[in-house]
Every structure is written in C-alpha cells, then in structure tokens.
A and B are shown apart, each in its own frame.
Chain A
Amino acid sequence: MTRFDAPVLTPGSPEEAVQAFGDGAGVTLIAGGTIAMPEIVHGRMKPQKVVLLRRSGLDKVSREGGKVTIGAAVPISELEQGDEPLATAAQNVADGEIRAQATVGGNLCAGPGRDTPRGDLQAPLLVLGAQVRSAGAGGERTESLEEFLAGDYRRRLVLDVSYSPADATGYAAFWRPHTHHYTILAIAAARANGELRVAATGVAPHAVRLSGVEQSGNAADALQGIEPPDDALASGWYRTQILPRLVEQALSSL
C-alpha cells in the first residue's frame, strides 16, 4: 500500500456525486485538492475512498430573482469579480494559481488548519446571510451557514451556497506577506434591509459573527464574546489589539 492507493470515484453529475458520497463514512472529497492533497502527501490523512468532484457538474453559478447560487465546485477565482464583500475576500485568498484550483465548497468546509485559520469565504458568506445546501447522513438539507458551521459540516457534501446581494458592504483584512497563504484576521460587513451583519475570520476555529458590533454598530464592541486563539501566525493577544481596528475599517466603507 502506498499513500495513493485509495480508489478514486469521479461522478459525472450532482446526483452521482450525492450517491458516491452516501453518508460520508470513509469518504474523502477532493475538488481542487488544495486542502486534502498536502494532507495525503505528507501522510496525515489516509483516505479509504476518494470522490473527485471535477466532473460532478457542481460548478455552476446562477442568478435568479435577485438570488445568487454558487455550486460547491466553483473555483474561488470565479468570485473575484462578483458580489461584495465576497469578491474582495476571494481576491485575498492565497494566490491566483491556488484560487483557480481551490473551490467554494472546500473553503466553506475547511476546518481550522493545524497552524493557521482557514476558510476565508465563511465570513463574507455569513454577512450575506448565505444558505448552504448539502447532502450526507440523513439526506439533503438546506440551512443557514451559521447552522451549517455549528453542525457536522466536515462530514457533509456541499452542493451549493446561495445568498442575496447586500445593499452596502465592507471588508478589511490584515496585511499578508506574499509568502503567507493564510490571513491572520479578516472582517466582512454588510447591510441589507436595514440590518447590520459583521463577521470575522481568524478569531475562532471557523468564522463567527460579531454580535456586539452588530447590535451597537460600534467597533469598540468587537471583542464581546470573542477569545482569539494563539497560532503560528499571531498570538490571541495580538488579535485582540488589531480586531477593533479592522472592524472600524470594514464599517467605514458601509
């Protein structure tokens, strides 16, 4: 047995992908491969069965009645010119070659990295009030991204994510040198129908909404209920120092 002996299924339609995934037991999903392949190459993940989503047809973007639906296998690069704050957040992911390969579904399901935060698209999709349609144990379900991230999201097959564009948006990310593929902290903000939504990447295992800021509209409340972790990129203390400033920056463009 080598690291690469697991069988690879290549479903040719969304229905075949759902069938191949089943209840997800023993299945490793690969779309772009940017998260799973290093784990496999370096021996940290030993897949029993791989489902490759390249030809699954889950790579469509549609706009109907003011609602945007993005398939799980759409590459992140396709979002770079789309709706804010998703577009700016997409431009901030890694580099162009990675963005053309990495997909929306993988980014949404990216658990915390070993050393760094991941899942840069979670915060902008949280503030857009996104709904996630997924398959797995118990069948297909559609739920808010918050519910999805609070549940068994690492064992779901994302089919698509949908949202309605916001009236005003803001985004601020901590500066990232070109050799760092992950962002220390990023803030997404959106106002829709008079409601303010603000979310942060880099203060918890996955992106979270900043309820203090959402209620008061004040960046000084950014740390309410937030205890940022220490990791390879920054200490929790450092994050508490820069979080309110980034929130202020994101709110200033609303």
Chain B
Amino acid sequence: MELTVNGVSREVQSPPLTPLLFVLRDELGITGPKAGCQQGGCGACTVLVDGEPRRSCLAPLAAFDGAEITTVEGLGTPEKLSTVQAAFHEHYASQCGFCTSGFLVATHALLESTKDPSCHDVEAALAGHVCRCTGYVKILEAVEAAARGDVGEVSTVTRPQEGQPEVLVPGSPA
C-alpha cells in the first residue's frame, strides 16, 4: 500500500491491521508521533490525516489508503521552525517533550481552521492531550502567541555539533 507522509509517497509493507502509529515509527522511522498509552487516552501519537488531527494509535493502516499524513516532522525544520513550534519554544511550552509533537500538530490544525480562537476553542482542541510537566499554562500561552503571530523572529534551535551525541540526555525520548 502507498502512504503519503509529509508530502512524500512511501510504499509500506506492514500488515493492514497495523496501527498507523507503528507503521510510521517502526517501518518508516518517523518517530515524531510518540507511542504513549496506545489506547487513545494521551494524544502523544496525534498526526494530521488530510489536515485533521487523529490518534494514529487507534486506526489500522488499511483505513489510510489515499490519505495525506502530516507528522510533526512535516511542520517545520530545526533551522526554520513553524510559527507554532517557535511559539512553544519561546514560551517554554515543552519540558520533557514526550507530549509536544501531539500538542504541536493539534495546535497547527486548530490555527489552520480558526484564525482567532477563543480560550474555549483552544481548550476544546487540546482536550485530548495530556502533559505531565508544564501544567498547561505555558502551552496555552504559546498557543495564544502563535494565534496572534507573536513569535518575534521565527526561531531556530541549536543542533548538536559534529561528533557530539545526537541524544544529549541518556534515556530521553528519541
């Protein structure tokens, strides 16, 4: 079956009942979507399916024939963050980072459909996402800033130098 992920069409071999999350992570090596609770409860695996946020752990590969999948890798790059990513960066809206890719794609989808979201819109859009570090306040501030386009210059993040390990903290989420 063919699966279009972040604009690139890929041939996939996983059995059709495999959850999309495992196809992305284990077959295609796209590890932005995280395998959290794997029962639809945490939102860490959320990706965009034809622009709409969906839990990738909850539907089998066979359901995505012909769909366009966007993961956090498709939003921006370390050199040029998307507005939402830059706002999260500037507002310290990410700590351990495990939930962050889910929050980022859900926020991206919200701002694509709603230009000036109310507090209620933001809370409703992020209701399925659990963060155990930030207490949510920083996240809500970041979403509001992104909605206003208030991200200063769009930031970049520093990559490890040549020869340095890619993962700086042992055991941190890959």
Interface flags for A50-77 (1: CB within 8 Å of B; 0: not) read 1010100000000000000000000000
Of the stretches B39-47, B68-76, B90-98, B162-170, the one at the interface is B39-47
Of the stretches A32-40, A117-125, A186-194, A246-254, the one at the interface is A32-40
Chain B interface main SS type: loop
Known: A38-B39, A50-B60. A4 touches B14 (CB 8 A): yes
Q: How far is the CA of A130 from the CA of B52 in the complex (A)?
A: 31
Interface size class of B (residues with CB under 8 A): 20 to 34
B40 touches A181 (CB 8 A): yes
Q: List residues 1-50 of chain B with CB under 8 A from any CB of chain A.
A: 14-19, 22, 38-41, 43, 46
Name the residue on A nearest B18 (C-beta).
Answer: A4
Q: Note all chain A residues with C-beta closer than 8 A to B38.
A: 38, 41-42
Q: Note all chain B residues with C-beta closer than 8 A to A7.
A: 16
B127 touches A33 (CB 8 A): no
B124 touches A96 (CB 8 A): yes
B89 close to chain A: CB less than 8 A: no
Q: How far is the CA of A193 from the CA of B41 in the complex (A)?
A: 41
B52 touches A100 (CB 8 A): yes
Q: How far is the CA of A30 from the CA of B63 in the complex (A)?
A: 10
B65 → A minimal CB distance (Å)? 8
Q: How far is the CA of A8 from the CA of B106 in the complex (A)?
A: 29
Name the residue on B nearest A38 (C-beta).
Answer: B39
A33 touches B130 (CB 8 A): no
B154 close to chain A: CB less than 8 A: no
**Most chain A CB neighbours (cut-off 10 Å) among B17, B43, B59, B124:** B17
A52 touches B63 (CB 8 A): yes
A101 touches B59 (CB 8 A): yes
A4 touches B128 (CB 8 A): no
The one of A10, A42, A94 in contact with B128, judged by C-beta atoms closer than 8 angstroms, is A94
The one of A2, A33, A179 in contact with B59, judged by C-beta atoms closer than 8 angstroms, is A33
Known: A96-B125, A178-B127. A33 touches B63 (CB 8 A): yes
Q: Note all chain A residues with C-beta closer than 8 A to B124.
A: 95-96
B108 close to chain A: CB less than 8 A: no
Q: Note all chain A residues with C-beta closer than 8 A to B55.
A: 34, 97-98, 101
Q: How far is the CA of A101 from the CA of B59 in the complex (A)?
A: 9
Q: How far is the CA of A192 from the CA of B55 in the complex (A)?
A: 39
Chain A interface main SS type: loop
B115 → A minimal CB distance (Å)? 18
A5 close to chain B: CB less than 8 A: yes
Name the residue on A nearest B35 (C-beta).
Answer: A41
Q: How far is the CA of A1 from the CA of B52 in the complex (A)?
A: 33
The one of A6, A32, A178, A179 in contact with B17, judged by C-beta atoms closer than 8 angstroms, is A6
B62 close to chain A: CB less than 8 A: yes
Q: How far is the CA of A7 from the CA of B60 in the complex (A)?
A: 12
B145 close to chain A: CB less than 8 A: no
Name the residue on A nearest B39 (C-beta).
Answer: A38
Q: Note all chain A residues with C-beta closer than 8 A to B57.
A: 37-38, 41
Q: How far is the CA of A40 from the CA of B57 in the complex (A)?
A: 11
The one of A42, A95, A100 in contact with B127, judged by C-beta atoms closer than 8 angstroms, is A95
What is the interface of chain A, defined by CB distance below 8 A to chain B? 2-8, 10, 30, 32-34, 37-38, 40-42, 47, 50, 52, 54, 94-98, 100-101, 178-179, 181
18 more CB-based (< 8 A) A-B contacts, given A37-B60, A41-B38, A95-B43: A2-B15, A4-B16, A4-B19, A8-B17, A30-B60, A32-B58, A33-B63, A37-B40, A38-B57, A40-B17, A41-B57, A42-B39, A54-B62, A96-B53, A98-B58, A100-B52, A100-B54, A101-B58
Question: 5 A-B residue contacts at CB 8 Å?
Answer: A4-B14, A4-B22, A33-B59, A37-B58, A98-B55
